[in-house]
Amino acid sequence: MAIKVKVKSKMKQKTDKAMDMYEQKASIHLNNVANMFKNYASKAMLASTGGRVYVVTKAGKTHTASVKGNPPAKNTGTLIESLYVEKATPKRLVAQLITEEKYAKHLEDEQGLDRPFMSRRSSPYKETQKYAEKKYKDISIGDLKITWAFILLIYKQYYTQP
């Protein structure tokens, strides 16, 4: 005589649902953090002053440059307008702040112009880090939380090669 027992479980279905929920919340959070990074970078460039004053047009319009170690001061607005966020999705949990302006790389270079606005040493990056750490609870499930260490997605810059 044989006894057969068949056990059916909905655990996979429920864990898949939890993961879908988690990925949805995570992508929303990452997009919020990336948008905040863009806002902080833009505001930092608009507020950056203190350097030398240059005449930039024949009509005598001047531009006050930023001081080394601070974000670049807005001149024409091209750099600020070039910033855009590549959004995260539930299946691609990466959001990125991007600029394709060729001179952005030279602004960030510590040995060059030294005007950080997106790198880890920039004030916008540090502000974004604080924001992300405050908001990570929005994507927690039970005791599982996303921290800044998990959000390595923010800092990736694209530079168009000549």
Work out the average pLDDT over 30-41: 94
Binned at pLDDT 50, 70 and 90, residue 45 comes out as: very high
Q: Taking the CB of residue 107, how many other CB atoms lie within 10 A of it?
A: 21
Q: What pLDDT does residue 142 have?
A: 58
Query: Residue 3 burial by CB count (10 A; 0-12/13-18/19+): exposed, middle or buried?
Result: exposed
- Which residue ranges make up each domain of the chain? 19-150
Binned at pLDDT 50, 70 and 90, residue 155 comes out as: very low
* Residue closest to 44 by CA, chosen among 126, 109, 110: 126
What pTM does this model have?
A: 0.76
Give the whole-angstrom CA distance, residue 81 versus residue 85.
12
Q: Is the pLDDT of residue 14 over 60?
A: yes
Binned at pLDDT 50, 70 and 90, residue 19 comes out as: confident
Beta bridge partners of 98: 84
